[in-house]
Amino acid sequence: MADKNYYTVDPQGKLRCLKCGVPLEKGKAKFLYLDNGFPVELPVCPVCGFVYVPEELALGKVLAVEKALEDK
Amino acid sequence: MIIEERGSTHVYKQIRMLSKEELERLESRCVHEQPAFCVAACPLKLDAKALAQAVSQGNFDEARKLYEKIAPFPHILAAGCDAPCEAKCRLTERGDAVDLRALEQAAMAYGQRGRARGVLRMKKRKTAAVFGSGLYSLFLAGELNKKAYPVTVFCREDDADAFIAAGAGFAPPEALAADAALLKETDIAFRFSTDLSRELIEEQRERFDVLCLSPELYASLYPEGSADAALQYDRENRLVSGSPRGVTETAFCAKKAALTVDRLAQNLDPGNSRGAEGPVETRLYTDVSGAEALARVPHQGLYTPGEAVREAGRCLQCRCDECIKGCAYLQHYQKFPRVLTREIYNNVSIIMGDHMMNKPINACSLCGQCSVTCPNGYDMGEICHLARQNMVSTDKMPLAPHEFALMDMLFSNNEAFLCRPQPGFETCQYVFFPGCQAAAIAPETVKAAYLDLCRRLDGGVGLLLGCCGAICDWAGRYELYDQTKEFIRRELARLGDPTVIVGCPSCKKELAGYGELKLVGIWDVLLRLGLPEGARGLERPAALHDSCGARGDPGTQEAVRSIAKALGVRLEDTPYSGDRSPCCGYGGLTAYANREVAGEMTAKCLERSDAPYISYCMACRDRFARQGRESRHILELVYGTDAGDPPDISQKRYNRLTLKKELLWELWHEETREMKLDFELRFTEEALRLMDERMILKDDVIAVLEEQRRTGQAVFDADSGLTAACRRVGNVTFWVKYTPLDNGGYLVRSAYSHRMQVVRRQG
């Protein structure tokens, strides 16, 4: 089955996990809110699995979806 | 401390907010949609208000169109109209009624006849005959023609001009000529020069479905008949007729008669399903105090167009928007309470889908201003409050709009909470309850007030620093409110149930809802004791802003004015003061749930005067100062303190903690353990601005950085050169962007948050 992603952020080698000392890679993640889930691709550390949510994403798309769900 | 987020968007629970009857009872209080007085008075249902408006704009064509709608022969009607609307014009209370009759004539004289004369309509199969001449016959034939009945008029006159003249001798020749032209355009058939007798009429029963008689003919040929005035129908003789007096009544009776013909032609009882006929009662309210042009524009004969425009311009365009005028919230949503209530009711009733009214429900300040400005006491706040409680009870209330405020309340009643008897006392006669915002915004003032009360009152004055529960009450969190109430009650019981000296009118109102508490405002105590030394007013005249918490509490409003007077403050009169005062934007948690509307509320308060504002609620003081207005709480003047620039959200928490610490040490000699950071923490100005805007506390930032130190987890962004770390605290994930300092500390450059949780996904 084709993988569905609502949103993709590619770190393009510009982000680095300070704990593991490796660049973050585009990886599979999921946003969860009020019993709803959204598969996305975000910068993820290939070693420890830390997922990075950039400021623009948090204040843009994420906030908009939060607000929409809150009024469901 | 955490407040549970609602579990899911898939909630199917439903509890009715109001019964249908309660909803209708509430809605009926709003008279915004009631007809204007002139419109209600007109039996022909002329929209005189719209006509006056069109004329005032010089749009005579539109005005004529409105008038032509109500009469088949409008020139004659305009010439003879008795204008019952004028007697009902509200301007009569202050001066002359608008000369609506003259405006109708002007509309007919200067307006162009509408080009589209209706779509081509098939004539009906049933036929009607009208016997006799006169105004009634003329109007009735016209009405029936409008209803597409084939009409035949039997009259003694020899031609149409004579027929018209017989009906409307009062009208000027040009009006007669104009309507004669209209009559000739119709396909009304005539039997001129007919000898009208009872035999003739009875003979025609076979040829026509309905027979109508002029009043004069009916009276002379059927003296035994008695036509029902409401139906214009003689059931016995099966004849349509009546006995109207005056031009307007004749036009109205012709309309009623035409409806009767309509019913009879369909073999229906003429008495049923007639709809609303004639003049109606209106419950509209209009404030006429602002009316300026009270005298009629004089005229001899017909108004000139310019005179008509001026006369129509005097029309008040009666409507009730008393609530909207004073309320930034209603102005923002551009809806009057009846509509808003219905939409809110529907919003809480829907199970699935978008709840479009959640925002308006949470944007009202619940201040109750509308309950005073509305002539019928409509309280939108009551409805929004009920809706919030309903949403909480069905688990449909999102936490996001109120979480910060609720967490702040929990902070006030935990870390920052303090309840002690006066040193040297076990129980007290009084307890000072300054309110959470006073401690957060003006801790020095709270301290000065408390020390003063201890010094000048006998019997011991305890201190209670905490929240009265208004925050969770406003949020509709009734369970949390009950818990808070119990908690505060228990604390008061420990002090021996003293009289509570409140420092905030909203706390006073909230605590009054507890029942059985003895309450007094600090303003009343100060008036009794006299002002302390050093109390001084402002040099410049000031405006007094009444707190929405003091609405319906004239004692408090007066006491504060007396204190201001004793301080030597020259108070300016402002519109919307006392019970009509608007909310500053803090009430009802608007400041948290909807910053945009809260900002408009603050602006609405400040537009009343350019002078410095004196208030007696610390939240008002804070919001006005944030807008750059010189703003002082009355207690700052009484105690010669100055809380200065408004604190940010972190400072508000710090102020509460510091006040508690200082008082514990100075009065009760208790030391509080101070939490010291073991790393240096600095913020850029921009970071502090963003944090205040995004409601992120320094404590949230510290929580993130402590986690970062423990786990070493962070992301370095080569583009910006900044490091980012995060931590989930309660229902929110906080991110901090920083530059590491050489000593292992942090220079915070930005912070942001999201409520969604993010997890890694396999596969």
pLDDT at position B120? 66
Tokens of B340: 């808003």
pLDDT at position A20? 97
Q: Is residue A11 part of a domain?
A: no
Query: Cα separation of B612 and B487, whole Å?
Result: 38
Q: Is residue A50 part of a domain?
A: yes
The CA-atom distances, in angstroms, between B18 and each of A19, B13, B338, B388, B392 are 57, 16, 14, 13, 15
Half-sphere exposure of B234 (CA within 13 A, CB side): 21
Number of domains observed in the structure of chain A = 1
Residue of A nearest to B400 (CA): A70
Contact list, A64 vs chain B (CB under 8 Å): none
Query: Cα separation of B616 and B632, whole Å?
Result: 8
Q: Is residue A28 part of a domain?
A: yes
Q: Give percent of chain B with pLDDT exceeding 90.
A: 91
For the segment B480-491, the average pLDDT, to the nearest whole number, is: 97
Query: Cα separation of B681 and B702, whole Å?
Result: 8
Query: In the CATH scheme, what is the homologous superfamily, with its name and number, of domain B37-115+302-313?
Result: Alpha-helical ferredoxin (1.10.1060.10)
Residue with tokens 């003689």: B234
CATH of domain B128-265: 3.50.50.60
Query: Cα separation of B354 and B358, whole Å?
Result: 9
pLDDT at position B763? 62
Residue from B754, B757, B759, B762 whose CB has the most chain A CBs within 10 Å, to mutate: B754
- Express each pLDDT in A12-21 by its tens digit: 989 999 999 9
Confidence check: pLDDT of A1 > 60: no
Contact list, A51 vs chain B (CB under 8 Å): 758-760
Residue of A nearest to B750 (CA): A55
Which residues, at least 6 apart from B685, have a Cβ–Cβ distance to it below 8 Å?
A: none
Which DSSP symbol is given to A59? I
Provide the greatest CA pair distance for chain A.
42
For the segment B161-186, the average pLDDT, to the nearest whole number, is: 92
Question: Could you list the residue range(s) of the whole structural domain that residue A21 is in?
Answer: 16-70
User: Residue B521: what residue type?
Assistant: G
Domain boundaries, given as residue ranges, for chain B: 20-32+321-398, 37-115+302-313, 128-265, 401-661, 681-754
Distance of CA A47 to the CA centre of its chain: 16
Confidence check: pLDDT of A34 > 70: yes
- Express each pLDDT in B332-345 by its tens digit: 999 999 999 999 99
Q: Which residues of A touch B (CB under 8 A)?
A: 14-19, 24, 27-36, 39, 42-44, 48-53, 55, 58-59, 62-63, 65-72
For the segment B442-464, the average pLDDT, to the nearest whole number, is: 98
Is the ipTM beyond the 0.90 threshold? yes
For the segment B19-36, the average pLDDT, to the nearest whole number, is: 95
Range of weakest confidence among B8-12, B430-434, B510-514, B528-532: B8-12
**Are B188 and B145 contacting, i.e. CB atoms less than 8 angstroms apart?**
yes
DSSP labels for B633-697? Answer: EHHHHHHT----SPP-HHHHHHHHHHHHHHHHHHHH--PPPPP--SS-EEE-HHHHHHHHHTT--
In this prediction, residue B350 has a pLDDT band, given cuts at 50, 70 and 90, of confident
Residue from A55, A62, A65 whose CB has the most chain B CBs within 10 Å, to mutate: A55
pLDDT at position B121? 73
Confidence check: pLDDT of B266 > 70: yes
- Express each pLDDT in B77-129 by its tens digit: 999 999 999 999 999 999 999 999 999 999 999 999 876 555 567 889 999 99
Closest listed residue to residue A55, CA positions, set B706, B750, B699: B750
Q: Is residue A1 part of a domain?
A: no
CA distance B330 to chain A (A): 21
**Are B157 and B163 contacting, i.e. CB atoms less than 8 angstroms apart?**
yes
CA distance A33 to chain B (A): 5
Please tell me whether residue B542 adopts helix, strand or coil conformation. strand
Query: Cα separation of B491 and B521, whole Å?
Result: 19
Query: Cα separation of B419 and B409, whole Å?
Result: 16
